[in-house]
Structures are given as C-alpha cells and as structure tokens.
Amino acid sequence: EVVLTQSPATLSLSPGEKATLSCRASQSVSNYLGWYQVKPGQGPRLLIYDTSKRATGIPARFSGSGSGTDFTLTISSLEPEDFAVYYCQQRSIWPLFGGGTKIEIK
C-alpha cells in the first residue's frame, strides 16, 4: 500500500515568510496530488488539485508542483489566516492522505 509522508511535521514561520511543504509517496502511482488546509473546528478545504491547479477561490500565493513521488506545496507569503494544518492526498486503490504539516506562528 502507498504511504504519503509529509515533512516537516511542524513549520514555525512568521507572517510574510515563504512556506514550503513536502509530500513524498512511497511509490509512484499517480502524477496527480491534492492539498487541503484544515483549521480548528472546520472541515478540510481543497487548495490544490491535479498537483498544480488551484481550487475555486484559492489565492495565488498557494502553488503546487511535483511529479512521480515528490510533491510540494508553496505558500509564497504567509498571511495570518494561513496558519493551519495541511494534508496531501493521492489516490492509489482508494484515496490516501498524508500525516499532515502544521504551520505555526513563530
């Protein structure tokens, strides 16, 4: 079974800084990957699908890239509302999620 490993587990940054989140698949199953943002008390929000396409209403500071087994979510300049937990997702036999990266305020 494919395992998605996200790193780092926690990212301590200040508003205005750039965030780079990694998601690595244990084997290459798809060139399509998604990213979600989760805030306390809210359901996940789709940010990126098909590796690099922004979902409806997602600001341009969010971008995704990658292929094969290595994927990246980049937030070019952190806004206060971006401090949250981020999950990657890919589909092997069924959809699988990574373990998450928490972006916290430094």
Partner 1 sequence: QVQLQESGPGLVKPSETLSLTCNVSGGSISTSFWSWIRQSPGRRLEYIGYFYYGGGTDYNLSLKSRVTMSVDTTKQQFFLKLTSVTAADTAVYYCARATWFGELFFDSWGKGTLVTVSS
Between β-strands 85-91 and 95-97, what pairing exists: parallel, antiparallel or unpaired? antiparallel
Place of tokens 């789709």: 46
Q: Please calculate the CA angle 5-46-92 and round it to the nearest 5 degrees.
A: 45
Cβ neighbours, 10 Å, residue 83: 17
- Minimum Å distance from CB 21 to partner 1? 15
Between 19 and 23, whose beta carbon lies closer to partner 1?
23
* Token pair for 88: 């990657």
Between 13 and 96, whose beta carbon lies closer to partner 1?
96
Judged by the rule CB under 8 A, the positions of this chain that interact with partner 1 are 30-32, 34, 36, 41-46, 49-50, 53, 55-56, 87, 89-91, 93-100
Between 64 and 82, whose beta carbon lies closer to partner 1?
64
- Minimum Å distance from CB 38 to partner 1? 9
